[in-house]
Structure 1
Amino acid sequence: MFKLNLKIALRNLWKNKGFSLINIGGLAIGLASCMILLLYVAYEWSYDKQFKNNDKTYVVYQSVVANGKTFSWGWTPNVMAEELQQKFPSVKYASHSTYPRPNLVSDGEKKISSKVIYADQNFLKILDYKFIKGNAEKTLTDVNTIILTKSFAAKLFGNEDPINKTVKLENQDVLKVEAVIEDAPANSSIIFECIMPWQLFLKRETWAKEPNWGNNMCLTLVQLKNNDAFSKANADIKDIYKKHNKEITADALLHPLTKWHLYGDFENGKSIGGKIDQLKIFLLLAFCILLIACVNFMNLSTARSERRAKEVGVRKAIGSTRKSLISQFFLESLLITFISTVFAFILVEVSLPYFNGLLDIKQTIDYENGMFWLVLFGLMIFTGFIAGSYPALYLSSFEPIKVLKGFSVKTDSSVSVRRVLVIGQFVFAACLIICTVVIYQQLNYIKNKPIGYNQSNLVQIDVQGKMRDAGKVELLKSQLLKSGATVNVTTFSSDFTEGGNNTTGVSWEGKNPNELISFNHRGIGYDFTETVGTGLVSGREFSSKFPNDTSGVMLNEAAVKMMGLKNPLGAVIDFWGSKLTNVGVVKDFVVESAYQKVAPMIFYLNRTDNTNVIIARLSPDENISTSLEKIDELVKQMEPNYPVNRKFVNESFELKFQNEKLLGTLSNWFGGFAIFISCLGLLGLALFMAEQRKKEISIRKVLGASTGNILTLLNKDFIKLVAIANIIAFPLAYIIIDKWLSAYEYRVSISFLPFALAGGISILIAVLTVSIQSVKVAKANPVDALKYE
């Protein structure tokens, strides 16, 4: 029986090539879209789960109430790990390390700026990276040693054995290579190229030796002996700051390593979500697109009901049971699904490099993974049965006597079901159109919102090596100005577009002693406001004409407002125990999140040892390429041992919108696929309706109806369906986008435009799709439909 059903299925596919192509194409696009999205979801879901004891590993977070909000972050004091290791019996290992940072590692003339971390031995016990060479038990004990990743060892030494060879760190410390480990997985929150001992960090950064519960400067990881102890350990660690320093009001908490990447958003000291919300959207999108493809299959299959009716009637007349007919139709569905899956694989393999580039990830299909094939097989069976369920039950229900006498189907529940399915398809399509438009509106609103300074031709140059020597930064600044490549130059204490240092250790006259207020603080150089293109509200900026500016500060507007200063100029501020006088008020400008309000900020005069970047504005009279060449040449002359590290500020600022741009692009792509597949579903219903009404249309033509009259007649019903879909979609889309926008302090208002676009586009697509088939029916010869009457 199986062999016979297979033959029938293959013959039907070959006989009806057009229908088969549309069915296979729709399912292939739906399956490919679903597979790509599921691959991405699986990739993101697997973050930090490659370690043996990942379920027992936690990141220590700090939560502090300031400015009326609770801020939580994974930065902790240098004494946290030792305290947890010694005084918490449930802790098996506790480790402190730096976050990955750029450092120069060189072998002779080969100099590479690499991502490095400084860590203790427990770091490698908690995160059990695979050792290729070297002894895992003895690493990170000697100060002047280094562990390289496999790819970084190849960059430095090629095919040579790197063990016991030496490299230089920052052209100063000579380090012996004691081990080589596998590269940190791409789906890991900590990406690095080499690991060095924590003692080396203390040797290079002497300030870090002093135990200080008020200085959050490292990452602390904890591995518990078993997870039964988590609740107690998390409760015990909460007041650890207050036990050591009563002035610190922060709370500590354990955040699971496996949730670190996906659940990065905190509210009131509790994890509330993060990237997991985006994954939920993609997961929903994946199954909705697949469901739309299945609905499309149902509509196209039942549209051919008249042609299959006699086949069903004859088979029932000679003894076939309904069960065997259902089996046949399901087999046809599974066969089409299998063929679609093959084409879907081709589409996925072709498009995967593009999506990897778009998502900035390195996902591949692991054909050796048994779980992959199991999930794929399950997905294929699910798709085949869902797509074939309605056609199998509907077509197998025909009565032999009626269909053999002359087939006619009343426009009853079967048609109503298909209409409901088409409405469902267009509800989803309209929601996607509205959400995509709002995402782009929000993105454009934020990008075009004034940010308080001029990004045009603003370049940031990292200060490295000898450039930190006394007088070198000032010398480079003067050379940059003399070269004609720049018109203004200043310095800054951190990356201009990224987060930096903050503190609650600020007080002033009239401050509420029980209120904690967090201030960002940055060191700036002379000519800062003129260089970056911001302005002063009052007072002046730092100048070499005022030697006492080393004891002065500048505030931004948000700081003045937060502090409640009526006369900010001359106000004395206690900043970490030093009395400093405010000399100017700077206009608010964005240095961190473009979506949140500008935080209170204190500026102080940069010292040489605190200068990390030089900010320069390129000359408008010079060619940009020529100016950049001059800058690179001057920086190389100043420090030839380091590669020049410079970037445009606007390029760095653009990275802040990466998540929203990604969401918008993916919504565009998969929304387009969903609309295309929905059109195929609409085409299926149009084919079905045209087939059922061909005699009516022929009679109307005989009585004098024009092609236009018939097109209007046929399109009217479908426009109603799409209109109903839009009526349902609009409130759903409003709820979704309103919830999404609520995460932003700066947000676009929800206008009528996205809804009008969704309605217009969906109706236009419906009319065009239906008209393709309707024109063919309207122009058909009435004799062909009426000759048997």
Structure 2
Amino acid sequence: MIKNYLKIAWRNLIGNKTYSAINIGGLAMGMTVAMLIGLWIYDELSFNKYHTHYRHIARVVQQQTLDGEINTGNNVPAPLFEALQTDFEKDFDRVVITSWLQRYTLTYKTSSFTRPGNFMSLGAAEMLSLKMVHGSASCLKDPATILLSESVARAIFEHADPVDKMIKINKDLNVKVVGVYEDIPYNSEFHELGFIAPFDLYAASTEWVRDAINDRDWESSSFQILVQLSKNSDPGMVSAKIRDLKLGKVDENGRKFKPRIILHPMSRWHLYSEWLNGQNTTGRIDYVWLFGITGIFVLLLACINFMNLSTARSQKRAREVGIRKAIGSVRMQLVSQFFSESFLVVFPAFVISLALTWLLLPTFNEIAEKEMAFPWLNPVFWACGLLFTLLTGFIAGSYPAFYLSSFQPIKALKGKWAPSGLRATLPRKVLLIIQFTVSITLIIGTVVVYKQILHAKNRPIGYKRQGLVTMLVTNEAIHTHFDAVLDDLLKTGTVTSMAESAAPLTEVFSANVGFHWKGKDPGLHSEFATIGISHDFGKTVGWDFAAGRDFSRSFATDSAGFVINKAAAQFMGLGKEDLNNAIGETVTWDGRAFKIIGVIDDMIMESPYEPVRKSIFFIHPNGGRFVTVRLNPSTHTSQAIGQLEAVFKKYNPDSPFNYQFVDQQYAAKFASEEKVSSLAAVFTCLAIFISCLGLFGLASFMAEQRTKELGIRKVLGASVASLWQLLCSDFVVLVLVSCALATPVAWFLMDRWLEKYSYHTPISWWIFALTSVGTLAIALATVTFQAIRAALLNPVKSLRSE
């Protein structure tokens, strides 16, 4: 029986090559999209699962009430590390204090390499379940040791055994390589971790770290703490235990900020990374849902094509159904036959989709910034693939199977096989409307995402980023010879100015409280971004002054001066009517008085989608670890970089020359949204193509079905234009209905999406109008070919049988 079903299905497949190609091609494309999205979702959901203790690892986070809102941050005070170890040892298997991931210079003999790494306390390697390739992680008990990732070890030592070799960190810390661990995969929070050095070494070599630990400073929060919960510990219950740990250690001034210590489980780091007023809300999980739903709908579009074409061709199958029923076939036998035809289409589509997915995966990885591999040897993948194929076959074949098998044999054999008029065409029209409603919604969503990115990119940033180059310096050589370096650079003619800062232009590394000014509400507890800089920083980056002046070496008092941004001035209530009134006002910071000498336009240093943080700039006694130079616009960039490297190497020969363009750093802030926009654009184009593929098939079938009608009309004098209009009018109406349905749906969804951005674009009416016109044009172009072809057919040939 099954053999006969398959044989009939194969004959129908071969006998209708055009429709078979449309069905298989559409389903293959829909399944490819679903498969790519499935791999992406699997990668997102498996983030951090490389670590064996994934479900028991948590990050200690701190919450404080600032400006009436609860702010949440990963930075915590150093004494918290010891308190968690000693007072809550039953709740934790391991407690690890760590520095922030930064780039350091690693030197072996005469070769130097800049790689990211961390200083971590004992137990970090075991907590993160690092897979050791050489040596042992337990050797980190010695402070003068280091663990390297496999790629970093290969870069430094090539094929030589790295264990027991001596290297230097930033030219001043001699450490012995005691182990090499397997590179952590890309879908882990720690995938950039190039090395781990003992935290004791960090404390011994860095004065402020040592002071923070020895002085038991609970006020300064400059570290990260990771914990591995014991097997029977619940993160929520432990969070409740440690909640007021800092509150009981700070003075009355510190208690005003209502500090709370809680745990953020590793299972939520990636997908639920955002906090709103103290509540862990959302994150990339939104994109998981978004693309998951998109994948389902794109696959549904392909299934709808199959349903529409199968039911549209039902007239040719009606007599077959009538004869089968007349000789004794029951309905379930007919249902089984039509399902077998569906599966015969779906299985080759699945094979094609496997090939397409494999071919497209490298490009998809590049767009999505992933490192996904095709899981050829994963039995779970093949089991899911089989289930996925059967489910697709069932969805695609369900409506045709139950529709065609419902024909009454007597009516079918008499030619009165199915309902006429609206009842006959309504299901196909509804399915077509669903197809284009989904496609139009995707188009509108993609346009809004792209418009939001442009809106943020066009936002004034408060400085001139073109021509700015920034470098992280890992020792004091450049700072010590700052004037000589600047003089040499000016002589080359490739640089116009240079300055130092404690943070790069596109990030804020430090924020502080303890500021007081005239008229401040005593109950107001506020945090300001604090950026230490050198003289000429404003000149180098191109500050725009709203009032006052820049720092100057001509004024010795500028060491006790502040340059603030507009956001800070407005928050302080200084110069409400005229910002010039803020100049000369005194602001005290931890008891020390500073004079405001200038107010600048707001600089976007963090997210371009959020309000600018209140910022204060001051002269840093040590300049800072970041050097920023402005290139001469009349000099070719490659020549300027070459000259820059030569001068830096002259004064700092042992360190590699690493630089970044500030405009590229700023552009990186749009990476997440641009990835979403690119992926959405790809899926939208495929959805439109699949919908048009089905529309093309339906149009060709309708033209074939109405051949004689068109011939008669042509004999009676109908023009080609009128026949084109006749064939296209139904499809135009359906697309217009789809536009009307998609508009409110898309507006609602995109309005909800834009809510998470404080600085966002309005949803303009022209987006809906342009999308509707564009979709209508695409649909008309798809139908027109078949319509004109049918209208141009010679009526003698179409009416010959009459």
| Interval of TM-score (by shorter of Structure 1 and Structure 2) | over 0.9
Q: Deviations over 1:165-196 (max 9, x none)?
A: 22221122221111221111211112301111
Q: How does 1:297-376 map to 2 (within 5 A)?
A: 297-376=306-385
Q: Which amino acid aligns with 1:187?
A: N
Match of residue 188 from structure 2: 188
SS at the partner of 1:243? coil
Q: How does 1:565-576 map to 2 (within 5 A)?
A: 565-566=574-575, 567-576=581-590
Structure 1, 22-31 or 458-467: larger mean CA deviation: 458-467
Q: CA contact under 8 A between 2:478 and 2:485: conserved in structure 1?
A: no
Match of residue 578 from structure 2: none
Match of residue 60 from structure 2: 60
Measured after TM superposition, the shift of residue 772 of structure 1 is 2.2
Structure 1, 30-39 or 300-309: larger mean CA deviation: 300-309
Q: CA contact under 8 A between 2:32 and 2:357: conserved in structure 1?
A: yes
Q: How does 1:435-446 map to 2 (within 5 A)?
A: 435-446=445-456
Measured after TM superposition, the shift of residue 134 of structure 1 is 2.6
- Structure 2, unmatched stretches of 5+, are 576-580
Q: Which amino acid aligns with 1:624?
A: T
Match of residue 85 from structure 1: 85
SS at the partner of 1:139? helix
Q: CA contact under 8 A between 2:235 and 2:265: conserved in structure 1?
A: no
SS at the partner of 2:123? helix
In the alignment, the residues of structure 1 paired with residue 606 and residue 660 of structure 2 have an alpha-carbon distance, to the nearest angstrom, of: 17
Measured after TM superposition, the shift of residue 132 of structure 1 is 2.5
SS at the partner of 1:215? coil
Q: CA contact under 8 A between 1:131 and 1:181: conserved in structure 2?
A: yes
In the alignment, the residues of structure 2 paired with residue 74 and residue 618 of structure 1 have an alpha-carbon distance, to the nearest angstrom, of: 36
In the alignment, the residues of structure 2 paired with residue 557 and residue 396 of structure 1 have an alpha-carbon distance, to the nearest angstrom, of: 73
SS at the partner of 2:85? helix
Q: CA contact under 8 A between 1:24 and 1:336: conserved in structure 2?
A: yes
Q: CA contact under 8 A between 1:121 and 1:139: conserved in structure 2?
A: no
Q: How does 1:523-602 map to 2 (within 5 A)?
A: 523-566=532-575, 567-602=581-616
Measured after TM superposition, the shift of residue 200 of structure 1 is 0.7
Please state if 1:749 is matched with 2:762.
Answer: yes
Q: Deviations over 1:85-106 (max 9, x none)?
A: 2212322322111232111112
2:655 to 638, 642, 655: 642
In the alignment, the residues of structure 2 paired with residue 217 and residue 413 of structure 1 have an alpha-carbon distance, to the nearest angstrom, of: 70
Please state if 1:627 is matched with 2:640.
Answer: yes
Structure 1, 395-404 or 569-578: larger mean CA deviation: 395-404
Q: Which amino acid aligns with 1:37?
A: I
Match of residue 428 from structure 2: 418
In the alignment, the residues of structure 2 paired with residue 605 and residue 392 of structure 1 have an alpha-carbon distance, to the nearest angstrom, of: 78
Match of residue 158 from structure 2: 158
SS at the partner of 1:140? helix
In the alignment, the residues of structure 2 paired with residue 509 and residue 306 of structure 1 have an alpha-carbon distance, to the nearest angstrom, of: 86
Residues 371, 79 of structure 1: CA spacing in aligned structure 2 closer, same or farther, 3 A cutoff? Answer: farther
Q: How does 1:205-224 map to 2 (within 5 A)?
A: 205-209=206-210, 210=212, 211-224=216-229
Measured after TM superposition, the shift of residue 696 of structure 1 is 3.7
Q: CA contact under 8 A between 1:98 and 1:118: conserved in structure 2?
A: yes
Superposed CA RMSD in Å reads 1.9
1:404 to 406, 413, 419: 413
Q: How does 1:657-668 map to 2 (within 5 A)?
A: 657-668=670-681
Q: CA contact under 8 A between 1:466 and 1:639: conserved in structure 2?
A: no
Match of residue 502 from structure 2: 493
In the alignment, the residues of structure 1 paired with residue 700 and residue 694 of structure 2 have an alpha-carbon distance, to the nearest angstrom, of: 10
Q: Which amino acid aligns with 2:147?
A: I
Structure 1, 775-784 or 550-559: larger mean CA deviation: 775-784
Q: Deviations over 1:286-323 (max 9, x none)?
A: 11101111111111222222333333333334433322
Q: CA contact under 8 A between 2:23 and 2:345: conserved in structure 1?
A: yes
Measured after TM superposition, the shift of residue 694 of structure 1 is 4.1
Match of residue 226 from structure 1: 231
Match of residue 121 from structure 2: 120
SS at the partner of 2:469? strand
SS at the partner of 1:379? helix
In the alignment, the residues of structure 2 paired with residue 36 and residue 631 of structure 1 have an alpha-carbon distance, to the nearest angstrom, of: 44
Q: CA contact under 8 A between 2:501 and 2:533: conserved in structure 1?
A: yes
Q: CA contact under 8 A between 1:103 and 1:113: conserved in structure 2?
A: yes
Q: CA contact under 8 A between 2:22 and 2:697: conserved in structure 1?
A: no
Q: Deviations over 1:620-662 (max 9, x none)?
A: 2222221111111111111111111111111110011111211
TM-score computed with the length of structure 1 as normaliser = 0.96
In the alignment, the residues of structure 2 paired with residue 414 and residue 380 of structure 1 have an alpha-carbon distance, to the nearest angstrom, of: 29
Q: Deviations over 1:132-170 (max 9, x none)?
A: 33334x232101111112222222222222222222211
Measured after TM superposition, the shift of residue 700 of structure 1 is 2.7
In the alignment, the residues of structure 1 paired with residue 520 and residue 245 of structure 2 have an alpha-carbon distance, to the nearest angstrom, of: 27
Q: Which amino acid aligns with 2:111?
A: K
Measured after TM superposition, the shift of residue 266 of structure 1 is 0.5
- Structure 1, unmatched stretches of 5+, are none
Q: How does 1:646-725 map to 2 (within 5 A)?
A: 646-725=659-738
Q: Deviations over 1:669-725 (max 9, x none)?
A: 110000111112223433454455444434433332222212212211111111111
Q: CA contact under 8 A between 2:119 and 2:202: conserved in structure 1?
A: yes
Please state if 1:778 is matched with 2:779.
Answer: no
Match of residue 431 from structure 1: 441
SS at the partner of 2:718? coil
Please state if 1:237 is matched with 2:223.
Answer: no
Match of residue 454 from structure 1: 464
SS at the partner of 1:611? coil
In the alignment, the residues of structure 2 paired with residue 731 and residue 490 of structure 1 have an alpha-carbon distance, to the nearest angstrom, of: 52
Q: How does 1:32-43 map to 2 (within 5 A)?
A: 32-43=32-43
